Amino acid sequence: MSKQNNNNDFLNKVAMYLDGALSTEQERDLLAEIRKSPERLEKFKIEKSFREFLRDKVNRRAVSPTLVNAIKEKIRTTA
C-alpha cells in the first residue's frame, strides 16, 4: 500500500472513531497504532481539535417548520 493510501486509510479510521462508527476491536487497533507513532498522534490531535472547533464555533441556523413541510411535500409529489 502506498504511503498516501495508508495515510488516507488512517484518516478515515480516525473520522470513523470520532463519529463512534468503529467496533471495539477496531478502536483498540486504532489507538494502539496512534500510541506507536508520534506522527499519527499529531494527526489524530489535529482532526479532533478541528472537529471540536467546528462544533463550538459554527452556529447552525434553525430551519423553519414551513421550509421542512415544503420540502416534504415536494418529495411526496415527485415520488
With contact defined as beta carbons under 8 Å apart, do 33 and 10 qualify?
yes
Q: Which residue do the cell numbers 488516507 mark?
A: 8
**Percent of the chain residues topping a pLDDT of 70:** 97
Rounded to whole angstroms, the Cα distance separating 29 from 26 reads: 5
Residues 2-6 have a mean pLDDT of 83
Q: What pLDDT sits at residue 40?
A: 97
**Structural domain count, the chain:** 1
pLDDT at 60: 81
- Containing 45, the helix (H) or strand (E) segment is helix 38-57
What is the per-residue pLDDT across 40-64, written as a single tens digit (0 to 9) for each?
999 999 999 999 999 999 888 889 9
Q: Which domain holds residue 23?
A: 3-78
The per-residue pLDDT for 1 is 61
Give the chain's mean pLDDT. 93
